[in-house]
Structure 1
């Protein structure tokens, strides 16, 4: 009985500790802790920002295209993103291990993108960094075409086709970055698992690219290899 009580106490303590470590990456009021990189603003400083706070949510307005990027660098964490397309479906993404800005097409930072695009949530896109998955040729194409730069096969298709909820409904994506592995869940389904990533830390970015997306949660929980 004492052993059971001790185990229960340890479990509760661990749960409380983990919960206490989880933090929102935005405050619901402004972009404190983030910076915005929109190439169009280089030529026109008065160009509108595609990122706003609306009703306590972070919103990507899609245009002009660019990224909102954390000031801090992170490693070994679980990122919880709750998002939806409130209007027409389109493109967007969560970028992990982001570093050098504008390495691709003069806009995308060096990173591994976890796709949010409707019907493709959970795809990996390699942007100056690379990652491997099982069944690589089936999911990425011929090996001789693989790469992380323009003109190469940078997309790695996810594992499911029916994990997303209908348009207008909220989706939950979990991205776990631990060492050189990246795992992705969409609404509870494991939709991608990459390993041998060429980066294991970096900034986190959200895209403005293609369609309006609302983010009601962007939460980060640090994790340790010792817990795995």
Structure 2
């Protein structure tokens, strides 16, 4: 039996270890296979033998661009910093990181309910609302007339980033940092703050990568729990 003093020390050590463990970074990609992820590619429903949209090649996670769909984490997350390193492997084009993803195929029978952080060439850091919403400063300037705002239509879902000059030349690796804390989502591209949103309608969920027409390589997808946003 523990004495009260020993029990207090034991519980303190447990609490310290748990707190320390909770602050450790984890890699969402092990460099070998897609363990911890699952693909949702509508085109494979009728053609299951279609080539994979997401593969591992030379230690990198690769979105092949087609067939179009999403690679989604099995687990859900909240209050985190996600550091991503990516580059367009061939021609520049479209891709994205979806945070707070939940219900699959709510938009165009393809996109899961989420908030997309855009990676499209020259538009990295835009927000796209997919069944969820978020607020930024200068909302009408960056999203258009309020009457046209939407979360489920073609127009009114895009919230432009703060700068289009943050991406590196094609072929070079870009870094993207996404911080999600409570109802806030902030995005940096190559160290530049490019979007800063609040009042997000969701505060947690799965993380997804897109296959949306262009081949993109990922060499880092690192997640760390946070209690405050970076400056």
The residue that corresponds to 1:8 in the other structure is: none
Q: Could you say if the C-alpha distance between residues 25 and 196 of structure 1 is closer, same or farther in structure 2, counting changes exceeding 3 Å?
A: same
Is 1:101 aligned to residue 104 of structure 2?
yes
SS in 1 for 2:51: coil
Q: How does 1:177-196 map to 2 (within 5 A)?
A: 177-196=180-199
Structure whose alpha-carbon radius of gyration is higher: 2
With the length of structure 2 as denominator, give the TM-score of the two structures: 0.89
SS in 2 for 1:53: strand
Whether the 8 Å contact between 1:60 and 1:213 is mirrored in structure 2 is yes
Q: Which moved more, 1:54-63 or 1:216-225?
A: 216-225
The residue that corresponds to 2:200 in the other structure is: 197
Q: Distance in 2 between matches of 1:216 and 1:209?
A: 18
User: How much does 1:227 deviate?
Assistant: 9.7
Q: Could you say if the C-alpha distance between residues 164 and 224 of structure 1 is closer, same or farther in structure 2, counting changes exceeding 3 Å?
A: same
Is 1:60 aligned to residue 26 of structure 2?
no
* RMSD value, Cα: 1.7
Q: Could you say if the C-alpha distance between residues 227 and 96 of structure 1 is closer, same or farther in structure 2, counting changes exceeding 3 Å?
A: closer
Q: Distance in 1 between matches of 2:22 and 2:82?
A: 13
Instruction: Give CA deviations for 1:168-220 in whole Å, capped at 9, x if unaligned.
Output: 00000000000000000000000000000000000000000021000000000
Q: How does 1:26-37 map to 2 (within 5 A)?
A: 26-37=29-40
The residue that corresponds to 2:16 in the other structure is: none
SS in 2 for 1:210: coil
The residue that corresponds to 1:87 in the other structure is: 90
User: How much does 1:18 deviate?
Assistant: 8.6
Whether the 8 Å contact between 1:92 and 1:209 is mirrored in structure 2 is yes
| Aligned pairs, number | 212
Query: Which one of the candidate residues 133, 138, 142 is aligned to 1:135?
Result: 138
User: How much does 1:86 deviate?
Assistant: 1.7
Is 1:166 aligned to residue 143 of structure 2?
no
Structure 1 unmatched ranges of 5 or more: 1-16
The residue that corresponds to 1:41 in the other structure is: 44
Structure 2 unmatched ranges of 5 or more: 1-19
SS in 1 for 2:49: coil
The residue that corresponds to 1:9 in the other structure is: none
